[in-house]
Each structure stands twice: as C-alpha cells, then as structure tokens.
C-alpha cells in the first residue's frame, strides 16, 4: 500500500463506527415507534392480552425504548443479531445469511455481465459518434432498459420455458443451467446505464492533449484507443462499479418472486410487512455497512491509481 494511505484508510474505517451507530439508533427508534407490532402479527386471531403481554416480555418489547436499544447493542457486540419472530425464534443469522448468499451469487453474476457488455458497448458508441451507429447502439439498450421487469419476466418465461423448452422454471440452485434466465433479466437492463456513462467518459478523454499527441506520433488507432483512451476513461467507472457492489447482496424482488428464488429481497419484504424487528434492523445495518465499505474501497482505489489523490490523502 502506498505511503500515507494506511493512515487514511484507518481514519475512514474508524468513521464507520459512529455512522453505523447513528443508523442503528435511528432505524431502531423508527421500528419501535411505528404502528404495528410483531406480537399482533404473530398471534393473529389467537390474540389475547395475557398471551400478548407474555410474548412482549419474552422479546423485551415491554421495556423502555433506551433499555431495549442498550440491550440490542450489548447483544450486537457479541455478534448476536437477535431472533426472528416469524421463524419460530430462529436467530436472525440463521434466517438471513443463507438467503444473502443466494442473492449475492446471483447479483455478482449479473453485475459481471452488465459491465462486461456495457463497457465495450459504450466505447464502441463513443468511437462511432457522429454516425447512425451511435444512437442505434445506445437506443437498442435503452429500449431493453425501458421494459419493466414484471412485464419482461412472464414473456420470457412463456417463450423460453413453455414454448421452446430451453429452460425450466423450477429452482434447482444457483449453479444450475436454469439460472441463466434470471441472471440475464437482472443484468441486461443495466447495460444501458453503464454504456451511456462509458460513452460520455470516452468522449471526454478523446479530446485530451495526450490522445492527440499519441495520434500525431503515428501510433496505430487500436493502441490509441486501448492504451490512452479506454484506460483513462475507465477511471470514473471505478465509482460506478464500487457503488454497485452493495447492490449485489440486495437481491431482485420481482426475479425472486417470479422464479421462486429463496433470496434476501423476498425475505426483506416479508420482514417489513410482518414486521420482524430484528431481521429488518440487521438487513439495514448490513446494507449500510456494505455501502460505507464500498465508498472506502472507491476512495482507496482512486488513491492507488491517481497520484494526485494519494498526495491529498497523505496531506490529510
């Protein structure tokens, strides 16, 4: 790691502690003060005041808010995220981690495909600027992006599974051939955004002096594009890639619902509707931690790649 960057990284990591503390307190307070009670949902038609009081005492909902929060923090420091009232007192870790693993694997594959297609498409569109190929290329991917997911999924299921029989709709695990269709539905709509961002970045780099100098020296156009244009145009994409990483573990609600995928997006929706306090709070904290770490990763990547950022970090 470059000199001076270690201290910068430590400062950023230490800042995550008060940030997560503030987020946890705000979300905890909102959940406890909002209308709705997990005990009411849990009992349903079997609700009686005596049973409800016993369950509230069991889960600690009858204590003052600050006492509940202090108990939650104490458990959190020991790695205890609480229990799920919807899953027969299974721990939150037992409920969410297997589903986060499934969603993360799907999201990672979708993200790789999105950028693997979007970056070359954006570079091609930028190089074709001023020709009909530029708007046609971007317009094609924008048309795909414009189709709502809940419209595209039934159509593709009917065509590819029912009519052609290329895939089966039954969930058979992340690494089964049937996963191709959900991954494509998750990845292809995002190609347009990546392509447009890459196109704008490449166009801005093409006007730089070092690009004109490289061409004036007689370098082949292929080398000018990949060594001087594409490489420098990729720097702004670090931010896009970094901030896309937390979304990997977030799942895709419609995809999980239509394909019966046991992912975290469906679990999060059900936990919010229940409500299941500890599951919701754990998911919010996990998402916040991912977002903070993604920002730190982006900053460190810039500092490693760009010497000017590294010098500013050392001075800080």
Whether residues 225 and 261 share a domain: the answer is yes
Residue 71 resides in a domain: yes
Q: Please say if the pLDDT value at position 131 is more than 70.
A: yes
Predicted TM-score (pTM) of this structure:
0.81
Nearest Cα neighbor of 278 from 98, 102, 86 is: 86
Residue 133 resides in a domain: yes
Residue 278 resides in a domain: no
- Give me the pLDDT at residue 239, please: 81
> Which residues lie closer than 8 Å to 303 by C-beta, 6 or more apart?
2, 5, 8, 309, 310, 313
Residue 64 resides in a domain: yes
Q: How far apart are CA 142 and CA 131, in angstroms?
A: 18
Whether residues 105 and 225 share a domain: the answer is yes
Residue 51 resides in a domain: yes
- Give me the pLDDT at residue 109, please: 92
Q: How far apart are CA 162 and CA 241, in angstroms?
A: 36
Whether residues 105 and 79 share a domain: the answer is no
The residue range of the domain holding 141 is: 100-273
How high is the mean pLDDT of the chain? 83
Q: Please say if the pLDDT value at position 309 is more than 70.
A: no
Place of tokens 């690494």: 175
Q: How far apart are CA 103 and CA 154, in angstroms?
A: 21
Whether residues 76 and 115 share a domain: the answer is no
Whether residues 126 and 80 share a domain: the answer is no
Whether residues 29 and 147 share a domain: the answer is no
Whether residues 250 and 196 share a domain: the answer is yes
Q: Please say if the pLDDT value at position 48 is more than 60.
A: yes
Rounded to an integer, the average pLDDT of 211-236 is 78
Q: How far is CA 291 from CA 59, 239, 241, 245, 299, in A?
A: 30, 12, 12, 8, 13
Structurally, how many domains does the chain consist of?
A: 2
Q: How far apart are CA 209 and CA 316, in angstroms?
A: 31
Report the percentage of the chain scoring pLDDT > 70: 93
Contact predicate 59/275, CB 8 Å: no
- Give me the pLDDT at residue 224, please: 79
Whether residues 167 and 267 share a domain: the answer is yes
Whether residues 159 and 268 share a domain: the answer is yes
- Give me the pLDDT at residue 114, please: 93
Whether residues 47 and 118 share a domain: the answer is no
Q: Dihedral of CA 108/114/116/119: which sign?
A: negative
Residues facing residue 91 across a β-bridge: 83
Confidence of residue 117 (pLDDT cuts 50, 70, 90): very high
SS3 83: strand
Q: Please say if the pLDDT value at position 312 is more than 70.
A: no
Whether residues 121 and 11 share a domain: the answer is no
Residue 185 resides in a domain: yes
Q: What is the dihedral of CA 73, 75, 80, 81, to 10 degrees?
A: -40
Residue 290 resides in a domain: no
Could you say which of 273, 289, 305 is where a domain stops? 273
């Amino acid at each position: 790691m470059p000199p001076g960057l270690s201290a910068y990284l430590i400062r950023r990591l230490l800042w995550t502690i008060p940030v997560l503390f503030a987020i946890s307190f705000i979300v905890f307070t909102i959940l406890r003060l909002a209308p709705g009670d997990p005990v009411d949902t849990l009992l349903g038609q079997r609700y009686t005041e005596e049973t409800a009081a016993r369950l509230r005492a069991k889960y600690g909902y009858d204590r003052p808010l600050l006492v509940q929060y202090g108990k939650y923090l104490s458990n959190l420091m020991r790695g205890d995220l609480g229990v799920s009232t919807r899953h027969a007192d299974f721990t939150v870790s037992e409920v969410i981690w297997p589903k986060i693993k499934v969603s993360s694997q799907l999201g990672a594959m979708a993200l790789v495909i999105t950028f693997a297609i979007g970056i070359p498409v954006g570079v091609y569109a930028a190089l074709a600027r001023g020709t009909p190929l530029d708007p046609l290329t971007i317009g094609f991917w924008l048309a795909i992006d414009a189709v709502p997911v809940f419209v595209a999924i039934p159509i593709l299921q009917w065509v590819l599974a029912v009519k052609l029989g290329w895939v089966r709709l039954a969930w058979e695990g992340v690494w089964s051939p049937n996963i191709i269709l959900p991954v494509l539905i998750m990845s292809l709509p995002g190609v347009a955004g990546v392509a447009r961002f890459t196109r704008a970045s490449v166009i801005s780099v093409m006007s730089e002096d070092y690009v004109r100098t490289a061409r004036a020296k007689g370098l082949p156009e292929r080398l000018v594009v990949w060594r001087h244009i594409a490489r420098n145009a990729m720097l702004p994409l670090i931010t896009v890639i970094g901030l896309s990483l937390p979304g990997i573990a977030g799942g895709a609600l419609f995809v999980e619902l239509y394909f019966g995928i046991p992912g975290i997006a469906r679990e999060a929706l059900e936990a919010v509707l229940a409500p299941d306090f500890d599951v919701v709070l754990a998911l919010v904290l996990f998402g916040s931690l991912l977002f903070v770490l993604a920002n730190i990763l982006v900053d460190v990547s810039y500092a490693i790649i760009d010497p000017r950022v590294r010098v500013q970090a050392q001075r800080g």
